[in-house]
Each structure stands twice: as C-alpha cells, then as structure tokens.
Structure 1
Amino acid sequence: MLRPERMSRVSVAGAKRVMTDVIETVHDLDVLHITEYDGSFEGFDPGDPTDGADDASDKLVTVRALESTLGVEPEDAGPTRLVTDEALESDLEEIRQEVNELDDRRDALRNDIRDVAEDIERMEFFVDLGIDLDLLAGYDSLSVAVGNGDPDSVEAALESADAFDATEVFGEGTTLAAFAYPADDEALEDALVGTDFAAVEVPDGDGDPETYLSELRHRRQQLNSRLSTVENEFEELKLDVGGFLLAAEEKLTVEVQKREAPLTFATTDNAFVAEGWIPTEDVDRFESELRSAVGDHLEIDELERADYDDEGHPTEREPVEGAGGQEADESAEEVAADGGQTVGPLTMSEGHPPVVQDNPGGIKPFESLVEVINRPKYSELDPTLALFLSFPLFFGFMIGDLGYGVLYFIAGYGIWSRLDNPTLKSLGGVGMWAGGFTAVFGVLYGEIFGLHQLGEIVWNGHPPIHKGLQPHYVAFAQAWLVASLVAGVLHLIVGRVIDFANNLHHGLWEAFAESGSWIMLTAGLWLWVFSTQASGPKPDFMFSAFGSGEAAAIPLGFTGFSPTVGTVGLVLAVVGFALAIYAEGGIALVESITQAFGHVVSYTRLAAVLLAKAGMALVVNLLVFGATLHNGEFHFIFFMEGAPNPDYVVFAGLVNGSEPVMIALGWIAGIVVLVAGHLVVLVLGVSSAGLQAVRLEYVEFFGKFYEGGGTAYRPFGHEREYTAAD
C-alpha cells in the first residue's frame, strides 16, 4: 500500500522478420509500458510504421467523425462482434455516404429554417407598420425610408431639411415609414443621419404583410417537419450502425496501435529493439508467451528491477543478474539480424518506472484525491493510506450526525454504483467512507439531524461526547480545540516521518537533518506549550478539558506536562531549529514559525467547523420545534411530555401554535423550514467540512513530504469492449 507495485525494465530484441509476431503477442498480453526510443543507440533509428498504418488511421478518423455526426454513445454498442476487413471496406463506405447525404440534407434544412426565421422577424416589422408592401417602394416622385426610430426626432429632421417640399412620417411606436417629396434618396439618408433611426430593407412583394407573414410561418412549419423526418432517419441509422461503428473504431484503434508501434522501437535495416516497464510479477509470463509465439529468434532481458531494499528504501536501479553480462552476451550471439548484426540487451533510456498504485479496494477510491495533486513518484511513499485514515475521520468529526451521515453514504453509493467515470466513481467511494464516519460520530454525539433524541435512545440520555454548543457542555468545545491541536501535531509529524522515509536515499544523516529536524521542532515546541512551564499566558482549559472533576469534558487526568517535560521540549525544539537551518538555510527562520506553530493552529478549524455546523442544525430545529433552556441544556418542545415551563422557553417554535389554524399553518411552514434548512446544512457540510478537511490534507499534510509527478502506467494493448479477438 505504501509502495507502488514493483516494476521491471525489460528489453526485447530480435530480427525484423519476427517483429510483427512480437507486436501481436505483446499487444495481446497488455502489460508492457513501452519506453519511446530516445536515439541513444549508435546505428539505430526510430522505426517506421508497418504497411497499412496510414489507411487504418484514415479509416479511424472517418469512423470517429461518423460517430460524432450520428451521436453514437457506448450504450448503442449491442453485443460484441467480429469486424472483418471486407466490412470495413464496403460497409464503412456505404455508411459514410448515407450519413453525409443525411447531414447535407439536415444542414440545408437548418439553413433554410434560419433564413425563414430572419424573414419572419423582418416581416413582423412590416405587420406592425401596417402599410402594404407595394406602397413602400417604386415611386418616381417620392423617397421612402423604413425602419426603427424616434418619430419626433425623425419628423423634426425631415421638416428642417431644405431638400424637400413636403414630408410625412407614418408608424406605430418606433416602427416608422418616412416619405419625402420630391424624390432624393441621398438627401433623405443624409437628413436621417443624426437621428435615432435604424433603416430596414423593404422586401420584394406587394399587398398585405400579414399574408406574407402567414405564408412564411407555414413555410417554417413545413421545414421543421422535414427536419424532424431527417432527424428520425438519423436516429434510425444510428440504431442500425452504431454497434458496427463502435466495433470498427475499436478494431481500427488496435490496428493503428500495432502498426505504429515500431515508431517507439530502435531499428536497423535488419533488427529492432523494444524496451519498457512491466510489473515484476508478470515478467516470467511475458517471456514465456513471447517464446511460445516467436521461439528463440529474439533476446528477452529483464534489465533491472526498480525495487526497495530490506528496510523499504527505494533503489531505483537494481540491475538484474545476467542483464548485459557474459550470459546475456552469449545468448545475444544467437539473436542476429538478417545481415549478421548482433543485437544484445541494450539500455534504451534512463526514464523512471511508471507507477501502479497498490491499494486494496476499500482504500483505492482515495487515489483520486491524491491524483488531484499528482500521481506519486515511484520513489515516494504513496500517501493514499494516510489520506484514507485521516480524511473521513476529520469529516465525520466535524459533521457528526447520524442522519446526515446516512444521506452522505446513500449519495456516495449512488455515485459509485451508477456512474462509469472512474474519477466520479472514486469520489462516490470517498463519500461512502465520509458518510460512514459521520454516522459513527453521530451515534457517539447522540444526534440525528441535530436532534438529541438519539442520545436518549442509545445512551439513556448520556452520550459519551457532546459537540459543546450548549452552555452546559461548553467544556467539550474547549476540549475539541485542544484535540484539534493534538491532531494537528500528530498529523504533521506523520507527514514528516513519511518525508524522512522518502529522503533516506540521500543518506541517514541528510534525511534526519531534512526531516527529523522538523519532527523535533514541532514535537518539542508543543510539548512545551502543553506543559505547565510558564503557564500564565496559556489558556486554563488546555489543562482542564481532559483533566478531572466537573471542569473536564473527558476525564483523562491530563493537567499538563510537568515543567521538566517543558524544558526537554524546548531543548528538542532548539536542536531541531538548528538542524533545520543547517539543512535548509535561512528560510527555516520563517518556516519554523509558519510550519511548526501556524500549521498546527490551522487544525483548530476542525473544532470551528464542528461548532458552526452544529449551530446551523440547532437554529433550524429551534425555529421549527422551539426549545426550553434548563440547567444549560436545550430541550426541544416538540419532544417534551406535557407543556413546558414558560419560564424556560427560548422560542415557542413554528409547530407549537395555540389555535387550530395556527397549528396547521405552523406545521406546513415548519416542514418547509425543516427540510430546506437541513438540506442547506447537508450541502454546506460538503462545501465547508469537506473543503476544510481537504485543505488540511493538501496544504498542511502533503506539503511536508509530497512532490508527485509520477508517470501513469499505460501498457501497450487494448481492453476490448465491442469486438471479439480476431
């Protein structure tokens, strides 16, 4: 879990006459992450695609274009099928022609509909104007301007124009037609330049615009009907050929992969070398399958294993015995190209191994949260397990409600079970874990949707812990502040321990100086803070919240570390500070404050969000049910037997009216407020508790040790969904 799956670098070399068989076998195995040739071999060049690569690539582009045009989706696949080369030649061309014909008809209809819509919009203007079309054009003695504008300004402009003996403006509102005598179109246009007027072209035609408008609308109906027919033909064609296109795409994808594979090989006229990474556990099977397919006409070498030593430290380059040695050289003599050139176990590149995160199913969904930052490097510890152990715990602690937890779990399960997208599916799994922890804390707090009756049922009115919102339990609020600080110290120290493990390849002393210094500084500083040495400025609740007696929220007997422990803590902090300066230089002067102190204090947001969400749920329930406050405890009236003592009523609540009508209206309003309010709290739980927990993980925790930047494992092969193997 903490380390990625072990990988081995392998080399396959042989004569070109067996290259096609090798490609076929390796592709079927689907385990080799091929390393692209970097040009480092003298006398070797990148290979060329095999015959037919361009044709297959062109067909693949055609198939994908057809799928896009038809809107083919994976659910259109139907049963798996065998797609022959003959079908790709004949059926694909037939489908292409049919799709193109339908697409051309659809485009033409859409263009016609767009043109008619513009004509309708223009004709609606002339309907509003109320003047027959033949009266707006064709005059020898009059100039006419039609458009939208301010009638007063247009009239004033025309009356002041010296070019005209008479003018008249007709219209409805801003829809205008201006006539000027004698005819001078240029003068009319000049007169309207400074006015609020936008001209509209007069369409050809005569008679009533209403008639034209009716004809245009009828024309649009006809075109829409034809378009609907074409769309139905598209849908029918998609149902007929969608499965074939998906299968053809898969077949062509596989074919292109295979034919273009030599581009990543190192080749001569007669030989080739392919190199890549493979899970170490698959090396024997890989070699066995290749030997069965090709025989002894190639050289297969496990060049190295990216392994870890007995103490778990990464050793990225562990040569495998015999790789490149005498035994390999002797066997290489048997692998000669057609021209007699010997190809041995050469090393193509110094690239890092791809990363296959090795987490069990329950933890695997949290890999998606890690990859938001980046995939871990092969030499790093995988933080997925640490994230799994802390994120749901933080989230559940902050929300802590059985009702909300069950809803979060159901929502997460719905996402996980119904969606196919791997990232969204993983987030559903994370939601299930977060909801589960929320429900567990809800039982411990004795709360369901902010109501305390769960504590009455499960704990006989005395749940083991409280959120600390009620005055009687304020000591719990103080205890959670202290617990948040302790959680911060422990969480950050774990991060530094992981960083120490990651840095061990630099040497034990360097790793201790780089990481152990911060462990000493953080632990020492907070040992002193929680000691009674110089206790004057330290809050009293730090030593009472987990102490004993009535002031303690959880009586653990902790009243602070002794002054001696505080002194030891200060010594540790000073030594750690000195080592940090030694390892990192002057920047440690600033980071010692922000990281050892500030980042720990940042964890108090756990207690702050806990109180904020509890307060929101309390307000919703208080508005609906009302409550009494007695001896520092809230009791919701709706659940009390008999009438509450009016001296203790905080708020009567919407559902506790005195008249039948008010009771009915109160219940209606109460149900609305109850459902809407708790939905808001539920959503804000994700946006506040979820984001705050993620922030602590990414900024405070990951920032101590995590770099990321690993290469994803992408084996050469294809998982078939729509086609049977050829």
Structure 2
Amino acid sequence: MIERMEFLNITGPKDDIDRIIETYISKYDFQLENALSELKNVKELHAFTDSNPYKDILSRSEELKEYFKDKKIQTDRHMSIEEADKITRTLSDKVYDFSQKKSELEAKLAEYEEKLKNVHYFIGLDYDTEKILHFKYVNFRFGSMPKEYYEKFMSFVYDDIDTIFYKAREIDDKVWGVYFVPDSIAEQIDAIYSSMHFERFFLPDEYHGTPEVASTKLEEKIKELKDSILAVDNKIIKTLEDSHEDFLLANKVLYRFNKVFEVRKYAAATRDNRKDKKVFFIICGWLTEKDADRLAKELENEPSTFCIVERDLSKVLSTPPVKLHNNFIFKPFEMFVEMYGLPNYKEFDPTILIALTYSIIFGFMFGDVGQGLVLMILGGIIAYKKKSRLAAIIARCGFFSTIFGFLFGSIFGFEDIINPIWLRPAKAMTALPVIGNLNTVFVVTITLGMFIIIFMMILSILTKLKFKKPGEALFDTNGVAGLVFYTSALITIILFMTGNPLPASIVLLIMFVLPLILIFFKEPLSAMLEKKKVHLEGGTGMFILQGFFELFEVLLSYFSNSLSFVRVGAFAVSHAAMMEVVLMLSGAESGNINWIAVVLGNIFVMGMEGLIVGIQVLRLEYYELFSRFYTGDGRAFKPYS
C-alpha cells in the first residue's frame, strides 16, 4: 500500500529555527520542499542568506577522521557545539603542524627518488661521475639510444669516428650510457649520434662516486626519509588516539549541526505584520500521516511555533511523494515495482498484485517439489544473512514451485515417487472442437491469462476514473469498451469449446461490433464527454484511415497478448522434458543411477531455467499486466535526515 502523506507548514521566530529543527523536525522522516516555491502567493518572503558556520570546521574534522580505523562511537554523553568546535580546532592545529613537517619530508623524498631514478640508468658505469661532470677539454653526453640503432652504430660507424661510447645498462630495448668526444669536433660527432636517435639525458652535477655508490647512498637517504614520515604519521595517530572518543563525538555533533543548518536552504523568512516587525521562518514538506500528527502534537507545546497540517493536497503545488508500505511477505517485491517506476500517489500500490501473480506463474512454469524447496531454503538463508530482496523473492517463488511440484507429481525430476495431485504437464491432453487434442496446460494458461487481462482492464478503468479521465475509462482499448469486447470473446470461446449454444446474432452484434465502434471513435467521443472541442487532426479522411489501422492493431494485440501466456504452459512442459533428459543421461531408465549426474543436472536446470523463467515472468508482468493500468510516474519519498 501507499502510505498517506500530509503537507506541513511550520512557522516560528527566525532565531529559534535551529532549535526547532534539532529538537523536533530531525526526529522524523521529513521530506523538505522549497518554501519559496510552495508559497508563491505569500508576500515579503525571502531566502535565508546566512553562511553555514559549521561547514569549514566539519570539513577539517572529516579530514582528521580519515586517520582513524575504528570510526564507531557509542556514548550517551552530551557535547555542546562550542565544545565540539574547540576540540576539533585544537586537534586540527596540532595535526596541521605535523602535516607541515610531513609535507616537507615528502617533498625531499620525491626529490631524492627522482635523483635515484636518474642515476639508476647508469649503474653499470664504473667511474666517478663527479670527475666526468668536471672534464674541461673532453665533452661528454649521457643518454640513450634504441638497441637496434646501437648495434648498427657499433658495427658500421663506431670504429671510424673519434669517440668513446661506454655502455652502462640495457633497459626496455634502450641502451643507456655516456660517450666522450674531443671538444674540437664535438658538433660533428653530436650530429652522428643524433642520427642514431641518441637522446641526451642531463645528469645533475651533485653525485659523488660511481653511479652504483651514489645509488646506494640515495637509497639510504630515501629510507631515512620514509622512516621520518612514518614517525610523523605515528605522532599524528597518537595525538588523535589520545582524544579518540572526544574527537568522534565532536565530529558527530558538528555533522548534526551542519545538517540542521542546511535545512535553511529549503526554508523561507518573512516579517510579521505587527509593529515589532518580528522575523519568522517557514519550513514546509511532507510526512506520513502518522508522523505528521505526532509532530504537530509535539509542536503544540511551543507557544511561538505554529504547525499547520494541509490535508487538502489539491492546494499544495508539489506532487505528494510515494512511500510504499507492505508487510514482510510482499515487501521484497517492491523491488520489481521500483524497477518499473513508483506508482503515482493517486494510483494503488501493485506490490501485492505482482507478488501473487509473479510467484504463482513462476511456480507453474517451474513446478518441482525438490528444486522448489532448494530455492526456498537457499533464498531464505541468503535473504536473512545478506538482506537481499532478490533472494527473498526467490524464496517465495520456491514455495510456489513446491506447491506446483506436488500438483505435477515431480521431485528433482523423478515422476515415479509421488502421484500428481492434478496432472503431468508433458502428458495431459484435452480434446477441443476444431483444434483437436491440445496439451491441457496450454489450455489452462491461455484461459488463466485471459482472466488476468480482464482483471487488468478493470483496474485500468478504476485508475482512469480516479484520474478523472472518463473518456479513456469508457472508450479505451483497456476501458469499458475493450473490456466488453474481450470478455465477450472469452465467453464465446468457452461456450464454443464446451459445446454450448452461442448467443443470438443481435447479442453478438452488441457484444462485438458496438465496442469496436466505440473504440474507433474514442477521440471525438472522449472530447464530447469531457466537454472539449472535437478536433480531428488531418481531417475526416485521415481520421478514418488512421482509426482503421489502429483498430486492426487493437484486435491483433488482443490476440497476441492472450497467446503470450502460452509460454507459461510451454515452460512447464519444457521443465519436465529437461528433467527427463537429465534422468536419462544419469541412467535412471536402466536402474543404474549416477547420482552425481542427477545432482549436477538438477543444479544446471535450477540455474539456467530458473533464470530464464524469472525473466520471462517479469516480462509478462511488465508488458501484459502493468502496461494496461499502471503509469509508474510517482516521486520517491526522500526524507532529509
């Protein structure tokens, strides 16, 4: 069911707004609406422009909170906002000093890591880099070239030019090293190296000893810096841990006051017409009927605060939000309703309808005592432990699968253990006039589907009348005209199949032709009924042509929608056939049963067919049921808590 909502206007002295929110409003699920938008006709309204004094300090508190592994607190101790602010600022200042020190250390660490990276490429160079960097008459170039060019260079060029290339390391298809060249011919040799795709690498002149020695010293320095950073982190954590409970309580208080203050962005302020020109706040929004009455009663004790409950929702500009409320049996199926769209506030909640039809149809298509019990037990366990709505739905579907398993006489695919209470899906046949023998479950599911469609048409008529659309309620394909035509078709088929005489021709004319004429002229008739101007878009000829094709589509859809329910019987038959295959492959017919094959086969059927059946039933729900009466354009109830 959809919980009844009420709209509240709460007014009081502006200076008292935080106390009223903290003491009363915050205790309830209250969906706030923008007061300026709701009260457009009230003069001299303006928004609150005060800046949030808790926003910055809460931000600092949240940053500090990241240092804690255990962020839970259980205490009944009261803390004022002033105390919370002081504790947070004191700790923040202490941590800030440590953080500054940490930032300096991290900057040095990044610098030394970059140096290590640079010298890493030349570890194979067994010479003091400091001496190389201070050569006067010989130029040097540190760098790298692709391996393929290095090999060509060494094979065809190196012996013919005045240069020395010292290979240090080979990393990722690149050869790293340094070459030397006399200063007088440096430009010529540099050009040759450049043609070999040599890329220079500028090594700073602050290294001492060979690259390997320099690398070792840098690694030692990096380790020292990391240890220093870890020590600073430990000091921060120690500082915070010493005030663990106080800090987390302060964080909670700051969060609550920040949340309370943010309510102001929904509120409006006005002035009283009395001489003192006292400033008042206005807060408005939605609560459930029960909570609205409780809050209004509590506010009666506040002499300066007034609460008005608006029960006539036609006077409220915003659309009432929707909150579904069902008992634990049907509640998991709210998930399917939400997937399609929440009901409009004026609609009825289809949760119970989808719960019953989905479970029954699933059970019909997947009837097996053993497999049904497995689904029910596993689904129940997962739903209990993980709070999964889907698992809870599976458990309920498993219950109906068990029931239909007894009706079909099937337990884990074995049909010789228990006798069917009703029939065997794959074997039961019914003789019908003209058609001949037809599987009984097909006849039952098509008939059941037609009755379900008729019920959906009745819901559609009631819904459209509730939305004050009498034209659609009377002349739509899912209205009275469509209901009369479709019901007449069902009655005629039943009479014919059971060998009973059909109604007289005049009755058939009223039952079939008149409803189709009304559906054909739906638009002009609806306009006349609702006292609107009749307008035939495109002229009379286009209206007749379009109406003819639409009427043909209506007749086709009635036929196809009815046949859609054949799949229910088809899956019941196919389930039995699949289990026969499983038992045949496991050797059940020969009497030498391979129980491992039986178990694996049942798991496979439960997994694959269970998934397919679940999807097919959901398709029937959405396309054959919901589409006839349901809009699903409701607005979710989102309380500001």
**What is the one-letter code of the residue matched to 2:44?**
F
**What is the one-letter code of the residue matched to 1:132?**
D
Alpha-carbon distance, 1:290 to partner: 1.8
Give the counterpart of 2:587 among 626, 642, 645.
Answer: 626
**What is the one-letter code of the residue matched to 2:502?**
T
C-alpha separation in 2, matches of 1:489 and 1:708: 23
**Structure 1 residues 406 and 82 mapped into 2: Cα distance closer, same or farther (>3 Å)?**
farther
Matched, 1:96 2:82: no
Equivalent position of 1:556 in the other structure: none
Equivalent position of 1:251 in the other structure: 253
Q: How does 1:118-133 map to 2 (within 5 A)?
A: 126=122, 130-132=124-126
**Structure 1 residues 11 and 466 mapped into 2: Cα distance closer, same or farther (>3 Å)?**
same
**Structure 1 residues 15 and 690 mapped into 2: Cα distance closer, same or farther (>3 Å)?**
same
Alpha-carbon distance, 1:383 to partner: 1.2
**Structure 1 residues 678 and 456 mapped into 2: Cα distance closer, same or farther (>3 Å)?**
closer
CA deviations over 1:403-452 (Å, ceiling 9, x no partner): 54444444544444344xxxx6433433332333334334444545x441
C-alpha separation in 1, matches of 2:209 and 2:370: 72
Matched, 1:583 2:519: no
Matched, 1:265 2:220: no
Counterpart of 2:53 in 1: which secondary structure? helix
Matched, 1:705 2:603: no
Counterpart of 1:372 in 2: which secondary structure? helix
Give the counterpart of 1:30 among 28, 31, 51.
Answer: 28
**What is the one-letter code of the residue matched to 1:596?**
Y
Q: Which moved more, 1:493-502 or 1:592-601?
A: 592-601
Equivalent position of 2:83 in the other structure: 87
C-alpha separation in 2, matches of 1:63 and 1:440: 57
**Structure 1 residues 160 and 211 mapped into 2: Cα distance closer, same or farther (>3 Å)?**
closer
Equivalent position of 1:70 in the other structure: 67
Give the counterpart of 2:301 among 288, 292, 310.
Answer: 292
C-alpha separation in 2, matches of 1:114 and 1:618: 69
C-alpha separation in 2, matches of 1:145 and 1:707: 74
C-alpha separation in 2, matches of 1:115 and 1:613: 69
Q: How does 1:138-149 map to 2 (within 5 A)?
A: 138=133, 141=138, 144=141, 146-147=143-144, 149=146
C-alpha separation in 2, matches of 1:98 and 1:566: 96
Counterpart of 1:292 in 2: which secondary structure? coil
Equivalent position of 2:560 in the other structure: 598
The answer (yes or no) to whether the contact 1:46–1:262 under 8 Å persists in 2 is no
Equivalent position of 2:44 in the other structure: 44
Alpha-carbon distance, 1:503 to partner: 0.8
**What is the one-letter code of the residue matched to 1:87?**
E
Give the counterpart of 1:55 among 53, 56, 65.
Answer: 53
User: Could you tell me the TM-score, scaled by structure 1's length?
Assistant: 0.66
The answer (yes or no) to whether the contact 1:158–1:192 under 8 Å persists in 2 is no
Matched, 1:358 2:313: no
C-alpha separation in 2, matches of 1:504 and 1:146: 84
Q: Which moved more, 1:431-440 or 1:272-281?
A: 272-281
User: Paired residues, what number?
Assistant: 591
The answer (yes or no) to whether the contact 1:381–1:498 under 8 Å persists in 2 is no
Q: Which moved more, 1:563-572 or 1:285-294?
A: 563-572
Structure 2 residue ranges without an equivalent (≥5): 272-276, 431-436, 524-542
C-alpha separation in 1, matches of 2:491 and 2:116: 81
Matched, 1:502 2:438: no
Alpha-carbon distance, 1:267 to partner: 1.5
Equivalent position of 1:690 in the other structure: 614
Q: Which moved more, 1:561-570 or 1:435-444?
A: 561-570
C-alpha separation in 2, matches of 1:188 and 1:590: 89
The answer (yes or no) to whether the contact 1:25–1:290 under 8 Å persists in 2 is no
Counterpart of 2:324 in 1: which secondary structure? coil
**Structure 1 residues 200 and 17 mapped into 2: Cα distance closer, same or farther (>3 Å)?**
closer
**What is the one-letter code of the residue matched to 1:70?**
Y
Alpha-carbon distance, 1:241 to partner: 6.2
Alpha-carbon distance, 1:372 to partner: 2.2
**What is the one-letter code of the residue matched to 1:504?**
L
The answer (yes or no) to whether the contact 1:524–1:570 under 8 Å persists in 2 is no
C-alpha separation in 2, matches of 1:99 and 1:566: 94
Alpha-carbon distance, 1:57 to partner: 3.0
The answer (yes or no) to whether the contact 1:626–1:637 under 8 Å persists in 2 is yes
The answer (yes or no) to whether the contact 2:407–2:422 under 8 Å persists in 1 is yes
**Structure 1 residues 685 and 462 mapped into 2: Cα distance closer, same or farther (>3 Å)?**
closer
Q: How does 1:359-508 map to 2 (within 5 A)?
A: 359-419=326-386, 425-448=388-411, 450-452=412-414, 456-457=416-417, 459=418, 462=420, 464-466=422-424, 468=426, 478-505=439-466, 506=468, 508=470
User: Could you tell me the TM-score, scaled by structure 2's length?
Assistant: 0.73
Counterpart of 2:451 in 1: which secondary structure? helix
**Structure 1 residues 126 and 180 mapped into 2: Cα distance closer, same or farther (>3 Å)?**
closer
Give the counterpart of 2:473 among 511, 520, 525.
Answer: 511
**What is the one-letter code of the residue matched to 2:126?**
D
C-alpha separation in 2, matches of 1:563 and 1:108: 99
**Structure 1 residues 237 and 561 mapped into 2: Cα distance closer, same or farther (>3 Å)?**
farther
C-alpha separation in 2, matches of 1:194 and 1:528: 94
Counterpart of 2:7 in 1: which secondary structure? strand
Q: How does 1:160-199 map to 2 (within 5 A)?
A: 164-165=161-162, 174-176=173-175, 177=177, 179=179, 191=192
C-alpha separation in 1, matches of 2:555 and 2:192: 76
Alpha-carbon distance, 1:286 to partner: 3.7
Counterpart of 1:564 in 2: which secondary structure? coil
**What is the one-letter code of the residue matched to 1:43?**
K
Equivalent position of 2:147 in the other structure: 150
Counterpart of 1:60 in 2: which secondary structure? helix
Alpha-carbon distance, 1:16 to partner: 5.2
Alpha-carbon distance, 1:44 to partner: 2.4
Question: Percent identity of the aligned residues?
Answer: 22
The answer (yes or no) to whether the contact 1:142–1:180 under 8 Å persists in 2 is yes
Counterpart of 1:492 in 2: which secondary structure? helix
C-alpha separation in 1, matches of 2:451 and 2:42: 54
C-alpha separation in 2, matches of 1:107 and 1:495: 68
Alpha-carbon distance, 1:502 to partner: 1.5
**Structure 1 residues 216 and 592 mapped into 2: Cα distance closer, same or farther (>3 Å)?**
farther
C-alpha separation in 2, matches of 1:354 and 1:363: 21
**Structure 1 residues 145 and 120 mapped into 2: Cα distance closer, same or farther (>3 Å)?**
closer
Equivalent position of 1:544 in the other structure: none
The answer (yes or no) to whether the contact 1:26–1:32 under 8 Å persists in 2 is no
Alpha-carbon distance, 1:237 to partner: 7.3
Counterpart of 1:147 in 2: which secondary structure? strand
**Structure 1 residues 715 and 178 mapped into 2: Cα distance closer, same or farther (>3 Å)?**
closer
C-alpha separation in 2, matches of 1:443 and 1:55: 68
The answer (yes or no) to whether the contact 1:132–1:207 under 8 Å persists in 2 is no
C-alpha separation in 1, matches of 2:198 and 2:599: 57
The answer (yes or no) to whether the contact 2:3–2:323 under 8 Å persists in 1 is yes
CA deviations over 1:121-158 (Å, ceiling 9, x no partner): 7666556xx44365896575465564362335752599
**What is the one-letter code of the residue matched to 2:90?**
E
C-alpha separation in 2, matches of 1:21 and 1:95: 28
**What is the one-letter code of the residue matched to 2:560?**
G
Equivalent position of 1:304 in the other structure: 311
**What is the one-letter code of the residue matched to 1:502?**
T
Q: Which moved more, 1:138-147 or 1:82-91?
A: 138-147
C-alpha separation in 2, matches of 1:361 and 1:407: 21
C-alpha separation in 2, matches of 1:573 and 1:305: 43
**Structure 1 residues 121 and 249 mapped into 2: Cα distance closer, same or farther (>3 Å)?**
same
Q: Which moved more, 1:381-390 or 1:151-160?
A: 151-160
C-alpha separation in 2, matches of 1:230 and 1:199: 39
Equivalent position of 2:530 in the other structure: none
C-alpha separation in 1, matches of 2:200 and 2:162: 22
